[in-house]
Structure 1
Amino acid sequence: MNRIIIFLVVCFVASANAYIWATTQVDSQGIAVNTITGKGAWCWFADPRAVYYENQSGTIRSTYIGYIDVHGNIKATQIDHLTNKTSEVLIRSWFQPDDHNNPTFIVLPDERVMIFYSRHTDEPCFYYRISRKPGDISTLCKEIRLETADNTTYPSPFILSDDPDHIYLCWRGIGWHPTIARLTMPDKEDKVRFDWGPYQILQSQEGGRGVRPYAKYMSNGKDKIYLAYTTTHPDNQSVNYIYFNYIDINTYELKDIKGQKLAEVGSGILHNVEATADYRKSYPDAVAEDSPYRNWLWEISVTDEEKPVIAVVRISEDKSSHEYYHVRWTGTEWRKTFLSHAGGHFHQTPDLEKCYSGGMAIDKADPSIIYGSVPVEGKHGLVYELKKFTVTSEGTVAFTEQLTYDSPKNNIRPFVITNEGKNPQMVWMNGDYYDWIVSSARPGYPTAIHTNIHIPSGEINPDNGLLYQHPEDVVSPGDLKVIDIPKSDKFTIIATVAVDHDAYYGEILKTDAFAYGLKEGEQSKPYIKMGNSEIISSNILANSDAWKMQNRGTGGHWYAPVKPESFQLAITYEDGVLRTYIDGLIDQHAEIKELSLSEVVSGGFKGVIQNIRIYNRSLSQDEINMITIISP
């Protein structure tokens, strides 16, 4: 194996300053801009991509934000507003690197957080993980696969008070159409099953042929799931209607806004929609937008069930002109209010996905407010900035306010998080964007996730509690390193590890309390071992960079996992909780009582381990990420 020489940068003060600069910008105008992650993206049809949850007892008050990066890592950040702590979690490594695959969240009745994700319409299943502890996604249980008969994408889960013992899941499934099913609550092994459905909700067609509707969902939290959807993808049809219906979960009837029954979901008889004058005449209240454009939708709101709102973009025949509209039901009609010209497609690749607007989001507390991404001339040229539009009850625009200024990169696909009527928590993508999937043709979506939410950061002192430092490399298995330290019931071990790709397994660290290594097999997963007990990670130690060498598309392939040349390993223990980190992301969580450390042996595998640091305290995730590794 070629030895990889990696050096540890120890000028932590300079690094800390650089880190703070990178994560927080406060403009003289507009809103505060903070960076949640430098690598993350999402589509806008799988929701909620972010949620805020606060319980009545006051023990949980957190925001959860999910995303996927170009290496196929599905990740999430939890901002705990009670402890003033931020945690970034690796939900799943080595996934299809496609921004349609962002995770979605639901808080279960026992207050544990359930996370759904799936591939982009090329695999008949969902995946999910559930937190072990209420409100804490840093404690995720193992990944579970939920089989379906048809390929899936865009999971949107709901729990309704009229049926609190079930989860309702909506997605694009059967025949590429809106699909719904009812799931049982997780059992003792966290398994769920379908006990009603899956069922196709409706049938969209054009000229007698089936097409591909795009749907957004929202519930009233009680007995209805509302959905707005298109006839098809706007790329494929120059006149694309937008429809608005709801499903009554007590009767399973699909109805229009006035309550007229359109069909019974699961009966085998589907309601057929079509972008025609005949359909419009037969079901006038089911059609929310029938203007002669390539219409697309971004979000819906039923905060006011009597007057729901849809964020709509009208796209011209040649796809070069996009315009944002606030569409609201007045009680008698769907009223359209023009908000702004939105440019054309926002991304850097010409002649690809030209219906991709910068994006819109509805204020969850006040649906008269829309946030939009629009091109603005600034000191860096024409860049997409965020603006706030306020619509009056009469349907006019009362105020327009720019929120971000002079951004070096585009601000796109905003989302507003529900947070009980407080100041809006906003999240959005920022950066370059070339395609929704990584391929040999384009690098995908190398964007960051920004927010106006304050991101807590504790004191960073990477020398505090340092018991041992050994920057030189240890070549194993021949050069074992035994490290004796004062016995401690709190500790952190950090090291840079390079495992031989031809022998990608073995025991990396062994202590007098536990061992850490990689399982032998086709998909090497990290493990923690204590005596005869073994905890295996849900994540393989690899990424999806092989997609960079493949043709663009969703063909259902799982390309070979790419093993990293090296990775940063961190293991912490405090208050009965052992955590492992891979390149700064939380991977494993184990509750182990009365663990103490006095000896560490490194080098029980074929490879190199270096930059070993051992502390008598549990370092924060920020501190772990500040131990910067530079590869020459």
Structure 2
Amino acid sequence: MRYLHFLLLIASINGFAQDSIEHSFTPHSENQIVSYNGIWSWFSDPRAVYYEGEYQRTYLGWVDNYGNIMVSLLDHETGEQQVFKVYDGIEIDDHNNPALIFDSKGRLSIYFTTHLINDDPLYKISATNPEDISSWNPVERLNLNNEDQYNKARILNHTYANVVKDPYNSQTWYLLYRGVDMQPCMSISKDEGVNWSKSHILYNGNDDEIYTPYLKVYKGKTKIHFFLTSDHPTRALGSNQLYYFYLKEGIFYSHHHKKIASLESSAIVPESLTPIRDSQQSRAWCWDIKENEKEQPVITYVEFEEHEHNYKYAYFDGQKWIHKTLTESGGAFPEWVGNKQLEPHYSGGLIINPTNTRELFASVQRAGNFEIEKWNFDPKKDDWTQLPITSGSSNNAVRPVLSIDSNNLNKASSLFWLEVMNYKYYSSQTKPGFSEFSLSDRYATLIRSNNAHSKYILPSKSENLIRSHFIDHHIKQRINSDFLYLLALSNPTLKIREVALRLEISNFLNFKKKILLSSQEIEEIEINDFAKKLYLFNPNIFERDQIENLINQISEAESLTSIDYLVVNEMMEQQLDLDGNLIKATNLHSENLFAQFERLDLTLANFQSSILDSYSFLKYGAAQEDDQERLKLVLDQCWKFYNEHFSQQYHPDVCGALLLFDAAYKDKFKKT
């Protein structure tokens, strides 16, 4: 753990541009945590890509609640996970997750944007080596909006990145985003993303008024499929249409295979398309599109009636659209703010399995929280069957996504989703115009996966599972938690937690540094409290010499202000007094403590205090090598007592005390 703390300190002092997080080997377990801090929208894709070359790996991108753009890989043979921050603090907004694509040499490129910020560009970063995310080329800023052609445009943003290859020529890529006057725009590269053309408007639904279409795109065997909602569902009935068209060999066609445009022609207009549904009855929002075995489009969408979110599935049979209803999903998942739902159309979501388009993954409210479920459609029975992926969750599980197969090997997809601890709105006060939302109101979400490819199995040792549950339980309170306390409890066999938590702390420190340097006054930051939590907390974390070294390095660090030094120095003096009192108390109590355990005099009432007494004797008392055997007996009895009396119901305080004692024993006697 000392080495881990040293890494944390170096990370917090040296600054952050593109931060490589050291490799970790994480065992696979059902519904494992991929990241303790990550989120995405459903309008930038691909979010997850499976690539098979020298390795068999799935790559995943997200934005965290510090605005960092993150990429991770999961190796399906070794269980290894790597995490890398590719862009530091672009914006705290869930619209900004990256889209991932591989070139013919196996090098990953990612594309991402800000959300409605002036004339910000679209960003691109490419890995320098095949099947590797540890080294990246400099960031490219792509100003794709054609200001000469659209010189009367009122808006020139870049929002929502989608990148897709041409089915007939893998050297040709299409980059789609929301650009000129909020319309879907398309840029073309003939050299695998090295150079990009100025974009043109793909679909133009504007007249005197600006509308906001939402686009989904998918590459099939011979077609690129497009599915869009013509405007946001908050708009009036009738303006909220669902449309479909496809691109094949440079020509755009309607679902009836009627030519409507070409790559060289002007934008597609609503009059050239036939609506998929009657928009006069209810509003709707597109969610997913894939291609079935007949190369026909299959879609999912949500229809809204008052507060109801009705999940819909449809496919084109060659003549007409066949619509099926799954269920009313439970409404919007964001928390209410007072008596208002700020995002009343944010559904849990439903997506289509690209390898079996009759199989869906949906987020549906069950017993108060949204759960991920697998839904299968039987056309002969015209009915659905459901299988829970999550159940009994303490938090909402939403926005599922399946990896796509970059190699077209028809490999099974890995499923990922968000576990929501806090979500009121998609942004925070760090975004211009959103001052009513405090930093603590920003989204807080984990990323989980069932990682179907993994061959690495978690040992079923009860101690490992208890540690896992304890950390998972407390990280969900991370807005008010002490991250170092969690790190002190992390299990060496659960490396993903050490990596993920270290990354979380690094991002937290970096965000604080940027706030300080920009002189922004954000009361919720509470610099003094952060310094206490992140640098000292209590004697459970650092030895005295570590604290002294820490204070020296903090006072010398350019990236931190003198306020940190003053706070830590004050806490240091308090801790020295505390240490002295603990040493006296624990030495006097030690013989009584051993006698109690040797008599097996443990009860439910005294169990936690007995553990903490044992821990204090180890950490601050005069425990010697001669005490090892007796302390080992105490530790074994504690684990046995815990498993017998507490394992059926989770008790975080008792569990935390036992983990501290266990960690202190191993540190004292150099056991791993």
* 2:252 aligned residue: 254
Give 1:120 deviation, angstroms: 0.8
Indicate the residue corresponding to 1:469 in structure 2: none
| Alpha-carbon spacing, 1:394–1:262, altered in 2? closer, same or farther (3 Å) | farther
Answer yes or no: is the 8 Å Cα contact 2:220–2:295 preserved in 1: no
When the two structures are superposed, what TM-score results if normalisation uses the length of structure 2? 0.60
CA distance in 1, matches of 2:554, 2:309: 58
Q: Is 2:226 aligned against 1:227?
A: yes
Q: Which amino acid aligns with 2:143?
A: E
Match of 2:195 in 1: 193
Q: Which residue of 1 aligns with 2:103?
A: 108
1:236 and 2:235 are equivalent in the alignment: yes
Establish whether residue 417 from structure 1 lines up as the match of residue 416 from structure 2. Answer: no
Distance of 2:520 and 2:324 partners within structure 1: 43
Aligned to 2:462: none
User: Which piece of structure 1 moves more, 65-74 or 450-459?
Assistant: 450-459
Q: What whole-Å deviation, never above 9, does each CA across 1:65-112 have from its counterpart, x for those lacking one? A: 111111111112111224431111111112111000001100011110
Contact 1:100-1:436 within 8 A present in 2 as well: yes
Does structure 2 retain, via aligned residues, the 8 Å contact 1:36–1:455? Answer: no
Match of 1:366 among 356, 362, 378: 356
> Is 2:174 the partner of 1:174?
no
- Tell me, yes or no, if structure 1 residue 340 matches structure 2 residue 327: yes
Give the 3 Å change call, closer, same or farther, for CA 140–337 of structure 1 in structure 2: same
Structure 1 residues 315, 24: CA separation in 2 closer, same or farther (over 3 Å shift)? farther
Aligned equivalents of 2:458, 2:80: Cα separation in 1: 8
Instruction: Look up the SS of the partner of 1:346 in the other structure.
Output: coil
Match of 2:75 among 51, 71, 80: 80
Aligned partner letter, 1:389: W
Instruction: Find 1:295's aligned residue among 267, 272, 284.
Output: 284
Q: Would the alpha carbon gap of residues 344 and 602 (structure 1) be closer, same or farther in structure 2, given more than 3 Å must change?
A: closer
In the alignment, what sits opposite 2:245? 245
User: Hey, what does 1:97 align to over in structure 2?
Assistant: 92
Aligned to 2:252, the other structure's residue is in SS state strand
CA–CA distance in 1 between the matches of 2:374 and 2:278?
A: 22
TM-superposed CA distance for 1:263, in Å, is 2.2
SS in 2 for 1:430: strand
CA drift of 1:549 comes to: 6.7
Paired letter, 2:326: L
Letter matched to residue 449 of structure 1? I
The TM-score, its normalising length taken from structure 1, stands at: 0.63
Distance 1:322 1:213 in 2: 20
- For the residues of structure 1 that align with 2:328 and 2:291, how far apart are their CA atoms? 25
Is the Cα–Cα contact under 8 Å of residues 113 and 161 in structure 2 kept in the other structure? yes
Matches within 5 A, 1:219-618: 219-220=219-220, 222=222, 224-239=223-238, 240-248=240-248, 250-251=249-250, 253-268=251-266, 270-273=267-270, 283-284=273-274, 287=276, 290=279, 292-304=281-293, 306-316=295-305, 318=306, 320-349=307-336, 350-377=340-367, 382-393=368-379, 396-419=382-405, 420-431=409-420, 432-439=422-429, 440-442=435-437, 443-453=441-451, 454=454, 542=513, 606=558
Give the secondary-structure state (helix, strand or coil) at the position aligned to 2:60.
strand
Using the TM superposition, give the Cα deviation of residue 121 of structure 1 relative to its aligned residue in structure 2, in angstroms: 2.7
Q: Write out aligned runs for 1:140-179 (5 A).
A: 140-149=136-145, 150-179=156-185
The CA deviation at 1:238 is: 2.6
**In 2: Cα distance, 1:322 partner to 1:370 partner:** 16
Q: Secondary structure at the match of 1:192?
A: coil
TM-aligned CA deviation for residue 283 of structure 1: 4.7
Residue 548 (structure 1) shift: 9.5
CA distance in 1, matches of 2:345, 2:166: 34
After superposition, give the CA deviation of every residue in 1:573-609 in whole Å (9 maximum; x if it has no partner). Answer: xxxxxxxxxxxxxxxxxxxxxxxxxxxx999865799
Q: CA RMSD in A?
A: 4.0
The answer for the alignment partner of 2:32 in structure 1 is 34
- Checking the alignment, whether the CA contact within 8 Å between 1:34 and 1:455 is kept in structure 2 is no
**How far apart are the structure 2 equivalents of 1:226 and 1:205?**
22
Shift of 1:201: 1.1
The answer to whether the Cα contact below 8 Å between 2:225 and 2:247 also exists between their aligned partners in 1 is: yes
More strand by share: 1
Instruction: Note closer, same or farther for the CA distance 1:447–1:267 as it changes in structure 2 (3 Å cut).
Output: same
The structure with the larger Rg is: 2
CA deviation profile, 1:505-556 (whole Å, cap 9, x unmatched): xxxxxxxxxxxxxxxxxxxxxxxxxxxxxxxxxx999557989978xxxxxx
Quote the offset at 1:384 in angstroms.
0.5
Question: Post-superposition shift, 1:148?
Answer: 2.4
Distance (Å, rounded) in 1 between the aligned partners of 2:33 and 2:555: 37
SS at match of 2:95: helix
Unpaired runs of 5+ residues, structure 1, are 1-6, 11-22, 27-31, 274-278, 460-493, 498-538, 551-563, 570-600, 611-626
Inter-partner Cα distance in structure 2 for 1:566 and 1:227: 52
- The one-letter amino acid paired with 1:260 is K
Shift of the 605–271 alpha-carbon distance from structure 1 to 2, 3 Å rule, reads: closer
- Unaligned stretches of 5+ in structure 2? 8-25, 146-155, 430-434, 460-498, 503-509, 523-529, 536-552, 569-662, 665-672
| Residues 1:60 and 2:41 aligned together | no
Worse overlay, 296-305 or 97-106: 296-305
TM superposition shift of 1:147 = 1.7
1:174-198 CA-to-partner distances (Å, cap 9, x unmatched) read 2211111112436xxxx83323x41
> Aligned partners of 2:46 and 2:346: how far apart in 1?
20
Q: CA–CA distance in 2 between the matches of 1:132 and 1:65? A: 17
